[in-house]
């Protein structure tokens, strides 16, 4: 009787162990839900189109009480898949990622710009969930910025962007010109990179999200 009890107990333990093994095989990564289009939900639309100039209103650099109005034009938006020749040296390619190149030009030629200069303000953000973006964005020592995005239910943590000022000053037509390029490394096909130009009078305090800073005059371009 004792021997039978031991055999039954051993069988029960074996079944329990087998059951635990089956449970462990179901421990797959938790699926990340799609992110909300925060900017659109807050009433901000990405209205800038490539090649179309839009009015850009901001304060003057030497006298912030003065306002100047110029134009902003997104001149190019290009994508470079992994394996293709990248648009500048120093950009590192990664499997599953691509580089986006966005070029923009601002021009101011009104009286206030000539008298007091121009104070421009711009940044990169995401079309999607701002809380997630702000938790992962980090300025690096080399001047680039790292961030993470979610695409196809997966986190991509090796995203990067670099901003360069390619040309700045007064041209022969007495316009205050500034030309920029942004390079952003994101998952292939990612459509959430957004460039934002806003009034330099708007101050971005710690803990605020971009939709709490920008206003209706701000200009947004989405690299779709």
Quick check: 206 pLDDT over 70? yes
Q: Which residue from 139, 191, 198, 131 is spatially nearest to 163, judged by alpha carbons?
A: 139
* pLDDT the model gives residue 5: 42
164/71 Cα distance (integer angstroms): 19
Assigned domain for 22 exists = no
Assigned domain for 206 exists = yes
Q: How many CB atoms lie within 10 A of CB 95?
A: 8
Assigned domain for 19 exists = no
Assigned domain for 111 exists = yes
163/126 Cα distance (integer angstroms): 15
Assigned domain for 33 exists = no
Tell me which residue range forms the domain holding 188: 38-222
CB proximity list for 178: less than 8 A, separation 6 or greater: 105, 106, 118, 120, 165, 167, 168
200/214 Cα distance (integer angstroms): 10
Assigned domain for 81 exists = yes
Assigned domain for 83 exists = yes
Query: What domain count does the chain have?
Result: 1
- More reliable by pLDDT, 38 or 161: 161
Assigned domain for 26 exists = no
Give per-residue pLDDT as tens, 13-54: 333 333 333 322 334 344 454 567 888 889 999 999 999 999
Quick check: 10 pLDDT over 90? no
Give per-residue pLDDT as tens, 112-134: 999 999 999 999 999 998 889 99
Q: Strands 154-170 and 193-199, how do they pair?
A: unpaired
Average pLDDT over residues 42-67: 97
Specify the pTM: 0.83
Report the length, in residues, of the chain. Answer: 224
- pLDDT bin (cut points 50, 70, 90) of residue 165 is very high
Instruction: Give Cα 114 to chain centroid, integer Å.
Output: 33
37/45 Cα distance (integer angstroms): 10
Quick check: 1 pLDDT over 90? no
94/102 Cα distance (integer angstroms): 19
Q: List the Cα angle 152/222/216 in 5-degree steps.
A: 125
């Amino acid at each position: 009787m004792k021997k039978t009890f031991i055999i039954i107990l051993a069988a029960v333990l074996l079944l329990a162990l087998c059951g635990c093994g089956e449970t462990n095989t179901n421990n797959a990564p938790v699926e990340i839900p799609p992110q909300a289009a925060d900017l659109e939900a807050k009433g901000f639309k990405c209205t800038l189109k490539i090649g179309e100039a839009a009015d850009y209103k901001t304060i003057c650099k030497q006298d912030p009480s003065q306002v100047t109005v110029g134009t902003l034009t997104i001149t190019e938006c290009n994508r470079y898949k992994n394996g293709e020749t990248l648009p500048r040296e120093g950009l590192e390619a990664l499997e599953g990622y691509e580089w986006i190149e966005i070029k923009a030009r601002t021009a101011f030629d009104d009286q206030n710009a000539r008298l007091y200069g121009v104070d421009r303000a711009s940044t990169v953000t995401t079309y999607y969930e701002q809380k997630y973006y702000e938790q992962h964005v980090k300025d690096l020592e080399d001047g680039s910025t790292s961030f993470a995005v979610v695409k196809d239910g997966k986190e991509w943590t090796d995203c990067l962007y670099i901003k360069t000022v390619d040309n700045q000053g007064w041209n022969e037509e007495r316009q205050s010109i500034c030309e920029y390029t942004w390079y952003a490394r994101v998952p292939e096909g990612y459509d959430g990179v957004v460039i934002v130009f806003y009034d330099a009078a708007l101050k971005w305090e710690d803990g605020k999200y971009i939709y709490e800073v920008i206003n209706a005059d701000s200009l947004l371009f989405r690299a779709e």
